[in-house]
Amino acid sequence: MLYLKDGLLLSKTNKMKNFLLTIVLLLNIIICFAQQNRSKDLFTFRITDYTVKLNDSTMLVQVQPPPGAVIIEKQLGVLRGNSNSALDTAMIGWGRCQLIKGDYYYFSIHLANNKRLPKKGDLLYTKINYPASYKGRIFGLIQLDIYLQRVTEESFYTFTFAVSGDVQQENSVMDSLAADIKYTAREMLKISPDQNMLITTGKYKDKKLFIAMQEISGNDVKDFIDYILYMPTRYEGNNWKISETFATWMVSGTPMVIK
């Protein structure tokens, strides 16, 4: 027989029960998603700063999706922390759309942990009908609420891009992304040559950063986006200047997806 000091065994037992309960609930959520209309695609939306406590274990959160995104009533949703605003990106809770008012949708979220309450910028995952003609890389970025911007902060695409976009238009966007990276590198080399660091690992090893940035192509941008889509946690639910985040990827060794 195992004897432990008061409270220790109980604490470990409760933790194990809570862990198993979370696993069971997650499996149920996954099954519910799978059983819903298969023509729908999973999308990510940032919640607003409107949150209301309904009871000790449930909160109401609000999302305002971009024009063209329609969430149906009782649609299931899962809420998770945003890596840009919190270190903890674990699941916050789950629930359904209970109210639709104009462009706003309200989800009642059953909290997985009362210590982590929803806040502005947290990510709501839910399914919507999105009639994309081509589901390529930009479609994947839009699904994850990732918007790549010019150095002047204008986005290269909108939420509705993939509704009418095709592979040629997407390739054109890739070339535009590459052009912005090259332009930024040229200007940075003039303004801050001291920041032209040496890349020590990866595809561009032993090259200076601003020089290597001027040599990239649309295909290199595709490799970077493939990496984002494969490892989205750091990027989803945020807007990113392509030149800055691409440079960070370069100096980090250009990790790539092996196809």
pLDDT in tens, 161-199: 878 889 999 999 999 999 999 999 999 999 999 999 999
In the structure encoding, which two tokens stand for residue 179, read together? Answer: 């052009």
Residues in the chain: 259
Where are the domains positioned within the chain? 36-128, 137-251
Phi, psi values for residue 95, rounded to 5°: 180, -160
Phi, psi values for residue 158, rounded to 5°: -115, 175
Phi, psi values for residue 148, rounded to 5°: -90, 135
Rg, Å, the chain Cα set: 22
pLDDT in tens, 134-158: 999 999 999 999 999 999 999 999 9
Q: For residue 9, is pLDDT > 50?
A: no
**What superfamily does domain 36-128 belong to in CATH?**
Efflux pump adaptor protein, beta barrel domain (2.40.30.170)
**pTM, two decimal places:** 0.82
